[in-house]
Amino acid sequence: MYARMTRMRVAPDSRTFLDRVRRARAAMERSDVDLLLVSVGSDLPYLTGYEAMPLERLTMLVVPRDGAATLVIPRLEAPRVHEHPDVFTLLPWNETDDPVALVASLVDRPRVAAVGDTMWARFLVELLVHWPSDTTRYVRGTVVMNELRMRKDVAEISALQAAGAAADRVATQLQAGEIKLVGRTEAAVSADISARLLAEGHDVVNFAIVAAGENAASPHHHAGERVIVEGDLVLCDFGGTMAGYCSDITRCVSLGEPQPEVAEAYAVLHAAQAAGVAAGVVGANCQDVDRAARRVINDGGFGDYFIHRTGHGIGMEAHEDPYMVEGNSLPIAAGHAFSVEPGIYVPGKWGMRLEDIVVATDDGPLAMNRVNHDLVVLG
């Protein structure tokens, strides 16, 4: 019923990747790293536009601080690479080659090498034979990549907007009563929402939490065989990846008029979420977002029932830096993309959460989700 649609996507161009590699080199300069090695994981498509399958064969982007970048790749995978010759040179290796030796032959032994978190351990172990740790200091690739990855550029913000708009269309269908709830299991509704995320343009569904009544008191409840009935408060938290970037939204609907206690709590939650968004401005700290939302919930008398941080960064990964949590004094910068998702969870009774993705800009928070924030009553 929900055919996967193929649509034209505006892919980032060479200029975008050139700019990202240039910024990576500037970060290497600042942190005194002279070689960056990036293998499977999302740093590679971020820098090159190429997403490697997590195979046993080595794929590695070799970025010296001074000097040309090289993408070392199994010959059979090379045809899948969209080349950006001004960004990197493609170096295919054959089945009988030693790809780690090839990497080591490309550059002089580095003093400090930054290694991507998700490189297979075996490649690092083999690299240590060429560049022992008494002469080369190894640091995590995040030293170079974290700040870049947190600050979304124009191409990334438009990808997040497109993914957010697609998730919004599914949330609109939920609020319009187009997704049948009463009489179905949580699992069936979760499958329905997943199909709709794909139909609206996502390439993959990352999660579709559907939690009814008392089940919603567990924030990451796994949709199960519980049948949804009239009177339930139903929490739906779903998202996927579209053209490499993630969506993530939570809306609750009430099947019938909510209990006064639920309506009162939702009013508090709604105000808390808005306060969290309003606090997410350039120059504030990440923890200020958490504090702003939490203050409203505490003042409303539900403080004991808000049991998680207020938000997480989002981009190529569904959860990434920066985290909106007490103790994170990182200043919010233009381009930081994150969720604001306070919740109230009363064990054994009900749970509710309200979540949007926002991007901090110099003109204030930019909403990636614009769907009605009210507790919509269905039936």
Residues of this chain that interact with Zn ion (CB under 5 A) are: 237, 248, 250, 339, 355
Given the complex with Zn ion, which of 25 and 221 has the nearer CB atom?
221
Let me know: does 376 contact 253? Beta carbons within 8 Å.
yes
Given the complex with Zn ion, which of 34 and 248 has the nearer CB atom?
248
Given the complex with Zn ion, which of 200 and 237 has the nearer CB atom?
237
**The two structure tokens encoding residue 105:** 């032959």
**The two structure tokens encoding residue 119:** 């490189």
Q: How far is the CB of 86 from Zn ion (least distance, A)?
A: 37
Q: How far is the CB of 250 from Zn ion (least distance, A)?
A: 5
Q: How far is the CB of 224 from Zn ion (least distance, A)?
A: 17
Given the complex with Zn ion, which of 237 and 321 has the nearer CB atom?
237
How distant is the alpha carbon of residue 13 from its chain centre? Answer: 22
Given the complex with Zn ion, which of 16 and 250 has the nearer CB atom?
250
Q: How far is the CB of 311 from Zn ion (least distance, A)?
A: 7
SS3 sequence of 271-310: HHHHHHHHHCCCCCEHHHHHHHHHHHHHHCCCHHHCCCCC
- Alpha-helical regions (H) of the chain: 14-30, 43-48, 99-106, 121-130, 142-150, 154-175, 186-199, 260-279, 286-299
Given the complex with Zn ion, which of 273 and 339 has the nearer CB atom?
339
Q: How far is the CB of 357 from Zn ion (least distance, A)?
A: 8
Given the complex with Zn ion, which of 70 and 339 has the nearer CB atom?
339
CA gap 158, 163 in Å, rounded: 9
The candidate with the shortest Cα–Cα distance to 335, out of 176, 149, 197, is 149
DSSP letter string over 153-168? -HHHHHHHHHHHHHHH
Q: How far is the CB of 355 from Zn ion (least distance, A)?
A: 5
Q: How many CB atoms lie within 10 A of CB 112?
A: 17
Given the complex with Zn ion, which of 59 and 250 has the nearer CB atom?
250
Q: How far is the CB of 207 from Zn ion (least distance, A)?
A: 7
What distance, in Å, lies between the first and last C-alpha atoms of the chain? 25
Q: How many CB atoms lie within 10 A of CB 121?
A: 7
CA gap 148, 323 in Å, rounded: 15
Q: How far is the CB of 336 from Zn ion (least distance, A)?
A: 15
Q: How many CB atoms lie within 10 A of CB 358?
A: 25
